[in-house]
Amino acid sequence: MLATEKLAAYIKVRPGAIGKVVDFDVKSDKLYPLDLTAANTELTPKLVADTEAFSRWINKKLSDNNARYGIGGYMEHRTIYNRSPLFNTDDEPRRLHLGLDIWGDAGTPVYAPLDGTVHSFADNDNFGDYGPTIMLQHNLDGLTLCSLYGHLNRTSLANLQVGQAISKNQQIATFGNAAENGHWPPHLHFQLMLNIGDAKGDYPGVGQYSRRAEYLANIPDPELILQFADANKA
């Protein structure tokens, strides 16, 4: 059974267990689907290499479409990762995006969508990396789920403790700016995993395309938690 099917089975009988990840009114707020693949010819190497220019491009897309957030990326094959040597592994470059991105303003609040505990946290301070990152662990009636929140501001890591109890809909962080979030336009990388091994404060958010089937077995579609599908997409 794929990871998405396992999580979907839990949610189907417990829909009230799911809270929010960001503030969003499905009736009035709009989402703009951002395509960050090679098919988007606007994304030139020069544009994505310049964080300020990349940020202006995203902000204009949201503004022009009256969208509160940009959204997308789960299992998306992206070329933008050539902006950082972090993703250029020797055998096969990492280009497959494993989570889902929510693009918005720096300072946007981030919430825990499920009861859980703080599993780990770290400041992955490399160009193109997550920057400040929080990982939560959730016990869903025997199904262990880990949620990851990347590209946060550094204040989000203050006063956290491993094992700390976190409640559904509790604010845990805010979006970081480019100076602290791994040098990206402000956004949240939200990812779910069933098995994280011995990972702490970091888990790959971009993988090798040849391992896609392996990732699908372990990494559920974040849309199951976000439940944005009914939104009026731009």
Domains in the chain: boundaries: 3-226
Collect all residues with Cβ–Cβ distance below 8 Å to 146 and sequence separation of at least 6: 119, 135, 136, 137, 138, 192, 193, 194, 196, 203
Q: How much is the pLDDT for 151? A: 97
Q: How much is the pLDDT for 48? A: 87
Q: How much is the pLDDT for 231? A: 61
Per the CB < 8 A criterion, the answer to whether 135 and 196 are in contact is yes
Q: How much is the pLDDT for 147? A: 98
Tokens of 40: 């988007």
What does residue 25 show for φ and ψ, rounded to 5 degrees?
-105, 110
Q: How much is the pLDDT for 52? A: 95
Q: How much is the pLDDT for 164? A: 98
Query: From edge to edge, which strands make up the β-sheet containing 76-77?
Result: 76-77, 96-97, 206-207
Q: How much is the pLDDT for 86? A: 61
Collect all residues with Cβ–Cβ distance below 8 Å to 9 and sequence separation of at least 6: none
Interatomic CA distance for residues 195 and 67, integer angstroms = 34
Check the CA dihedral 81-84-86-92 and report its sign.
positive
Fold of 3-226: Glucose Permease (Domain IIA) (2.70.70)
- Using 70 as the pLDDT threshold, list the residues of the chain that sit under it: 1, 82-90, 230-234
Interatomic CA distance for residues 209 and 20, integer angstroms = 30
Q: State which amino acid sits at residue 218.
A: N
Collect all residues with Cβ–Cβ distance below 8 Å to 102 and sequence separation of at least 6: 21, 22, 69, 70, 71, 187, 188, 190, 226
pLDDT digits (tens, 9 = 90+) for 53-80: 999 999 999 999 999 999 999 999 887 7
Q: How much is the pLDDT for 14? A: 87
Q: Model pTM?
A: 0.93
